[in-house]
Amino acid sequence: MRGIIAGLILILGFAASAAAQGNGLVASQRVATISEAQINRRMDEVFGASAPERLRGSLNLYKVTYRSVDANGRKAVLSGLVVVPEGGAPNGLIVFNHGTMAYNGSVPSRTTAKTKGSEGELAMLAFASGGYAIAMPDYIGQGDHSGGHPYPANVTNARAGVDLIKPARAVARKNRLEIGTNLYITGYSEGGGVAMAQTRELERSNDPAYAVTASAPASGPYDLSGATLKWMIAQPTDQAGFIIRTYLVGYMVYSLHKVKGVKITDYFKPSMAFAINNSYGGKTKDEDIIKRIGVTAVLMRSKNNLFNVTTPRFKRVAESADAKDPAIRLLRDNNCFDWSPRSRMLMIYLEGDAIVTDENSKNAFRTMRNRGVGRDTMRRSVIKDSSLNHLTAMPIAMVRARNFFDRGFAGVRDLDEN
């Protein structure tokens, strides 16, 4: 009898292990339950008159770890957040990809019932009341994963969201919650670029679990080696423009330092290289990184000129777009605008965006149209409000994505006619 029991244990253990490997889930833990009253109150505060329909019932938040790969393609365990309404999610699963953040305390898996103002909270407020579950990857090198975060790397980071789809559904089943079969993809800023690349990767898959119902990438850097690079090295007219460029270029170079071993001093002069090396890595809040960059730039007498804090070498490779350089090659390899989506796509962006230039979206839209992608498949919704900036436009963009997911193109009032 003891031998039979041992054999059964071995068989059951193998079956459980095989099941876990099949869906990629390593572990899950419910970290919060948020009441409908709290969510509805916050929806009114964030969206005002544009708030989606009211949530009925509470939301369950699960921190998950799951199998994926790191920036160099090696096996890795990543983390993320899965949100499921208590009554299930009959309308399907939304993969939400977050924007640029260096501070690890801000990633989706750190969201709790007390979190306010985070992108994880905004995604819940925008989508959960529509009968959707939401899967939010932390990305490679963020959350529980200690490897370097590839940045800006649309294609590389797309895998983190793809590999979270099956674990998200497994978490729901484990907790006797149903998720409908529809699959939606969205994200904003860095997450918009990741969402675009993610949609492309999912469409290339033959797995029916990855069939995309609709996609709404928003204000993303799709044309990294073209529009984004030109913006990076353009001379800003104000200090804020200079600092944000230095922050973003600094993040890119730090990423290459951690992932590929490049020297920060190949790109930045010693004082700024020191500030960058001691600012990124997940432990410092983004606003504090920006302050450090600003103070260092003043001490270097930068005169709001990026080339006064970077090396002549960086100026040369950036202006010539030399793809032999690791940074320029990173941008080129993560472009995701020159392709033809098959699933319905709404491209959302802010007109005159001063951080992620709207030339990214315009180039993507024009290129896809020229490739034959018609109005029945792809449209765009341009946010035309000069009082908004890249950050403050995000709630409007996510409401438009929600309306699109709910009712298709007919549900979006501000569609471009082209």
- Using H for helix, E for strand and C for coil, what is the string for 349-405? EECCCCCCCCHHHHHHHHHHHHCCCCCCCEEEEEECCCCCCCCCCHHHHHHHHHHHH
Q: For 218-239, what is the mean pLDDT?
A: 94
Interval 237-294: pLDDT, tens: 789 999 999 999 999 999 999 999 999 999 999 999 999 999 999 999 999 999 999 9
* pLDDT of 6: 37
pTM: 0.93
Q: What is the pLDDT of residues 83-99, one digit of tens each?
A: 999 999 999 999 999 99
Find all residues with CB under 8 Å of 141, minimum gap 6, and list them.
Answer: 70, 71, 147, 148, 149, 150, 255, 258, 259
Angle between helices 270-277 and 286-299 (to 10 degrees): 170
**Are 360 and 337 within 8 A, CB to CB?**
yes
How many C-beta atoms lie closer than 10 Å to residue 73's C-beta?
Answer: 9
